[in-house]
Chain A
C-alpha cells in the first residue's frame, strides 16, 4: 500500500460491468518522507474519503479484497482501492 492525499473525484457514467455506483477518487501519492510525488492514482472508495484527507491505497489483489473479500473477486475491474483513512502517522 502507499500513502496519498485525496485531491478530487472522477465522475463516469459509462463504466465496465459490475462497477456501477463505484466511487472513483483521485489520489496524489506521497513518498516515504510524506512529500507528494506528482504521481496520480485513481482509486475506488468504499470508506467515503473526502478531499484533503490522507489515505492509504491498496493495489493489486489487495484492492479487489477491499471491494469484495474472498477468492472469487478476480472479475472485478479494479487495481487500486482506498484501504484506510489516515488520522496520524509516526
Chain B
C-alpha cells in the first residue's frame, strides 16, 4: 500500500458500466512508488468516503480490483482507509546505517502529517 493525499475527484457521465456507482478520487502519492507512468498522481475508487485534502492509504492491484466489485472490474487502485494520525520515529535518523533513504522516507511520511 502507499500513502497519498486526495487532491480532487473525477466526474464522468460516460463510463464503463461496471464503474457506474464508483466514486473516483485523484490522489497524489507522498513518496515514490513506481507508477506505470511518471504522472505523480493516480485515480482510485473510494468506498470509505474520503474527501479532498484527506490523507489516505491506497491499495494497488488485484485486491483493489476485487474490493471494487470483482475480478473483472477495470480498477487497479482503491482507498483502503483515511489517515487520522501518523506516528513517526525521527530518532531513527541517528541509527547506524540510516542513510539518506530513511531521511527521504521520513520526510515523505511527515508531509502526510501536515
A residues with a Cβ closer than 8 A to B are: 5, 7-17, 19, 24, 26, 28-31, 34-44, 51-52, 60-61, 64, 74-80
Residue contacts A-B, CB under 8 angstroms, 7 given? A5-B102, A7-B102, A10-B85, A31-B101, A38-B101, A39-B31, A42-B1
Interface SS of B by simple majority:
mixed
A42–B57 CB distance below 8 A:
yes
> How distant is the Cα of A15 from the Cα of B81 in the complex, in angstroms?
4
Contacts of A29 in B (CB 8 A): 101, 105
The size bracket of the interface on B is 35 or more
Q: Is the CB of A16 within 8 A of B86?
A: no
Residues of A within 8 A of B83 (CB): 10-12
The residues of B with any CB-CB pair to A shorter than 8 Å are 1-3, 30-34, 47-50, 57, 59-64, 66-67, 71, 78-89, 92, 95, 97-102, 104-106, 108-109
Please give, as numbers and ranges, the residues of chain A lying within 8 Å of B88 by CB-CB distance. 7-8, 26
Residues A19 and B31 in contact, CB atoms below 8 Å apart? no
Residue of A nearest to B104 (CB): A38
Give the docked Cα–Cα distance between A30 and B100 (Å): 11
Q: Are B63 and A40 in contact (CB under 8 A)?
A: no
